[in-house]
Amino acid sequence: MSQRIVRQIIPTAGLGLAVLSSMGQRINVIYIMTDDHSYQTISAYDGRYNETPSLDRLAREGVRYDKCFVTNSLSGPSRAALLTGKFGHINGFINNSSVFDGSQQTFPKLLQKAGYQTAIIGKWHLVSEPTGFDYWDILTGQGSYYNPHFINKDRGTYQIEGYVTDIITDKSIDFLNRRDRSKPFCLLVHHKAVHRIWMSDRKHLYDYEDRSFPLPETFFDDYNGRQAASEQKQSIERDIDLAYDLKMVDESFDTRLKSAITGGELKRMTKEQRSMWDSLYVPMTKKFIEADLKGDSLTMWKYQRYMRDYLKSVASLDDNVGRLYDYLKENDLLHNTVVIYASDQGFYMGEHGWFDKRFIYEESLRTPLIIRLPDCYEKAKRNKSSSLMVQNLDFAPTMLDLCNVDIPSDIQGVSFASEIETGKVPDGWRKNIYYHYYEFPDEHNVHKHYGIRGDRYKLAHFYDDGIDCWELFDLKKDPDELTNLYGNPKYSEVQKKMHIELQNLRQQYKDTSDNR
Ligand code: SGN
Ligand code: CA
């Protein structure tokens, strides 16, 4: 497939790159990536839970991708795929214990070589020191919600008072204010939110407290026919921690992870922050103890608490996306800046009874993706959705393409820059996407697996550590992926075909790790 699609379509694409180049201008890139942000909690995708006006505005002024998938539903691997445009078995980062080899080719390095000023602010999570960035200011490890620690070249490790999503946005705006204006820029804004343990800022602390959310239809999934799903440890009923995740901290009871919040996030707070926090959670904890909930009522209560806390931290993300957008508008940067919004993967909002991610199932395989092309692209698509099957693997080549920088042939992803502008499916576009997850057991006990997802069918193989199971789903008849059709004679042809497709993709992407 051609990697040079944009170049070919420029002459007929209206005021696109050709015009910008002739004016001696190059486009800037702002790539905003959140952590664990589900498409279900963006109102441009799904109106059931919340309103996200800033993200919706981006979608109205750009293209909302409805079939954007990750290569591996986990932070580090997703970030490594973003930087390299390659799968984990090639870039060397397969799970959160990997260390990124910063000597390898990345798209920020290629942009830098082409004259771009590059920067990353926020969550990095790749262990080694960032390379390919003129400026970096990153959270330590997973980062903290309150008064987080950052690391940068000048200051080493240091702490800043405030709420992490606001601080990352402040820092991003600050970078834009003091950037070298003789160069185009590429800024990666990588938020910590909405990662566990879903902590609200003070402004949104009381939001959603009067709201109750409908349970997803698959909440009480029995995992029949899906061994790996039955063995996971990310169930809202069993695994979510009352103190740590749901903030019910009281001397009268201990939980497995209580000390992780009392000695962690709560301890980090200033007196003021803590007293505001306690004004909500202390009386709530008392009420919770008094109610002495059991069985399904307790599970339901946990689900509501989980949703409320999660949505509060989404609210401040949305505010801050708005704040960055306003800055771009006021500084006349929407004209020549592409704004991309994505998450490092999707997340379960109670589907299958879960929080967390990791599985090849839709909610965690998919990630939100919204792309707003610069205003100078006169014919850019606005207020559109796209069902092109794209992957985070494609982000690097797409950004290079948009910046008119050559895409090296060893990049495994493919640019879909032309499709953002024209809506036309690029010739020979992929029919299936490939996925491979490796982190077992870690905290959530999700077995290693690989698989493919096409327009209609999904095939996955869970392997190693006491499992050797195949799963096949018909996404049209069974979008919730409850019925494993593997071995069902009615689907034997489909199964055969999907095996061939899977082998082809494994060969194409050079994944020889497990060939059973
Ligand atoms: C932490 C979380 C897990 C989560 C992983 C990976 N536990 O370990 O719940 O699955 O990160 O998430 S926590 O107690 O530390 O919050 S990822 O998005 O970084 O890959
Ligand atoms: Ca994540």
Nearest atom in ligand 1 to the alpha carbon of residue 244 is 14
C-beta 239 within 6 A of ligand 1: no
C-beta 36 within 6 A of ligand 1: yes
C-beta 196 within 6 A of ligand 1: yes
Mean pLDDT of 436-464: 98
Nearest atom in ligand 1 to the alpha carbon of residue 355 is 9
pLDDT for position 12: 31
Q: Is the CB of residue 82 less than 8 Å from the CB of residue 413?
A: no
Expressed in angstroms and rounded, the spacing between residue 229 Cα and the centre of ligand 2 is 19
Q: What DSSP string runs through 426-447? A: PTT--SEEEEEE---STTTTPP
C-beta 265 within 6 A of ligand 1: no
Question: 166 exposed, middle or buried (CB, 10 Å; 0-12, 13-18, 19+)?
Answer: middle
Query: How far is it, in rounded angstroms, from Cα 348 to Cα 315?
Result: 18
Nearest protein CA to atom 20 of ligand 1, as residue: 75
Q: Assess whether pLDDT exceeds 90 at residue 79.
A: yes
Taking only the tens place, the pLDDT of each residue in 321-371 is 999 999 999 999 999 999 999 999 999 999 999 999 999 999 999 999 999
Q: What is the dihedral of CA 88, 69, 393, 165, to 10 degrees?
A: -90
Q: Is the CB of residue 96 less than 8 Å from the CB of residue 74?
A: yes
3-state secondary structure of 11: helix
Sign of the CA dihedral running 142, 147, 149, 154: positive
Nearest atom in ligand 1 to the alpha carbon of residue 35 is 18
C-beta 356 within 6 A of ligand 1: yes
C-beta 56 within 6 A of ligand 1: no
pLDDT for position 506: 98
C-beta 366 within 6 A of ligand 1: no
pLDDT for position 18: 56
Q: Assess whether pLDDT exceeds 80 at residue 305.
A: yes
Q: Is the CB of residue 475 less than 8 Å from the CB of residue 494?
A: no
| Residue whose entry in the numeric block shows the structure tokens 């904890």 | 285
Mean pLDDT of 112-119: 98
Nearest protein CA to atom 1 of ligand 1, as residue: 196
Taking only the tens place, the pLDDT of each residue in 245-264 is 999 999 999 999 999 999 99
Q: Regarding predicted confidence, which is higher, 23 or 165?
A: 165
pLDDT for position 128: 98
Name, in order, each residue with C-beta under 8 angstroms of 100's C-beta and a sequence gap of 6 or more: 76, 79, 80, 83, 91, 92, 93, 126, 127, 128
Q: What DSSP string runs through 449-504? A: EEEEEESSEEEEEEEETTEEEEEEEETTT-TT-----TT-GGGHHHHHHHHHHHHH
Q: What DSSP string runs through 148-215? A: -EEEETTTEEEE--SBHHHHHHHHHHHHHHTS-TTS-EEEEEE--TT-TT----STTTTTTTT---PP
How many residues comprise the chain? Answer: 516
Q: Assess whether pLDDT exceeds 50 at residue 301.
A: yes
Q: Read off the tokens for 177.
A: 């204010």
Query: What percentage of the chain carries pLDDT values higher than 90?
Result: 94
Q: Assess whether pLDDT exceeds 50 at residue 227.
A: yes
Expressed in angstroms and rounded, the spacing between residue 367 Cα and the centre of ligand 2 is 10
Give the residue from 475, 470, 464, 467 showing the smallest Cα distance to 495. 470
Provide φ and ψ at 41, rounded to 5°: -110, 35
H-type alpha helices, 232-339: 258-260, 266-268, 271-291, 295-330
C-beta 430 within 6 A of ligand 1: no
Mean pLDDT of 276-304: 98
Nearest protein CA to atom 13 of ligand 1, as residue: 196
Mean pLDDT for the chain overall: 95
Nearest protein CA to atom 2 of ligand 1, as residue: 196
Mean pLDDT of 418-439: 97
Q: Assess whether pLDDT exceeds 50 at residue 46.
A: yes
Q: Assess whether pLDDT exceeds 70 at residue 24.
A: no
Instruction: Tell me the pLDDT band of 175, cut-offs 50, 70 and 90.
Output: very high
Instruction: Tell me the pLDDT band of 25, cut-offs 50, 70 and 90.
Output: confident
Give the count of beta carbons closer than 10 Å to the beta carbon of residue 429: 13
Residue to mutate, 33, 78, 96, ligand 1, most ligand atoms under 8 Å from C-beta:
96
Q: Assess whether pLDDT exceeds 90 at residue 23.
A: no
Give the count of beta carbons closer than 10 Å to the beta carbon of residue 45: 21
Query: How far is it, in rounded angstroms, from Cα 68 to Cα 342?
Result: 9
Name, in order, each residue with C-beta under 8 angstroms of 128's C-beta and a sequence gap of 6 or more: 99, 100, 101, 102
Taking only the tens place, the pLDDT of each residue in 11-21 is 333 345 555 66
Q: Assess whether pLDDT exceeds 60 at residue 147.
A: yes
Expressed in angstroms and rounded, the spacing between residue 95 Cα and the centre of ligand 1 is 12
pLDDT for position 13: 36
Domain architecture of the chain: domains with CATH = 11-189+317-426 (3.40.720.10), 434-508 (3.30.1120.10)
C-beta 449 within 6 A of ligand 1: no
Query: How far is it, in rounded angstroms, from Cα 103 to Cα 131?
Result: 7
Expressed in angstroms and rounded, the spacing between residue 345 Cα and the centre of ligand 2 is 6
C-beta 444 within 6 A of ligand 1: yes
> Of the ligands numbered here, which is closest to the C-alpha atom of 355?
1
Give the count of beta carbons closer than 10 Å to the beta carbon of residue 480: 16
3-state secondary structure of 366: strand
pLDDT for position 378: 85
Nearest atom in ligand 1 to the alpha carbon of residue 36 is 18
Nearest protein CA to atom 14 of ligand 1, as residue: 196
Lowest mean pLDDT among 17-21, 373-377, 479-483: 17-21
Query: How far is it, in rounded angstroms, from Cα 415 to Cα 3?
Result: 6
C-beta 96 within 6 A of ligand 1: yes
pLDDT for position 7: 31
Query: How far is it, in rounded angstroms, from Cα 303 to Cα 426?
Result: 42
Nearest atom in ligand 1 to the alpha carbon of residue 356 is 10
Expressed in angstroms and rounded, the spacing between residue 96 Cα and the centre of ligand 1 is 9
Q: Assess whether pLDDT exceeds 80 at residue 451.
A: yes
Query: What percentage of the chain carries pLDDT values higher than 70?
Result: 95
Question: 233 exposed, middle or buried (CB, 10 Å; 0-12, 13-18, 19+)?
Answer: middle
pLDDT for position 308: 98
Taking only the tens place, the pLDDT of each residue in 395-420 is 999 999 999 999 999 999 999 999 99
Q: Read off the tokens for 189.
A: 């804004």
Nearest protein CA to atom 8 of ligand 1, as residue: 443
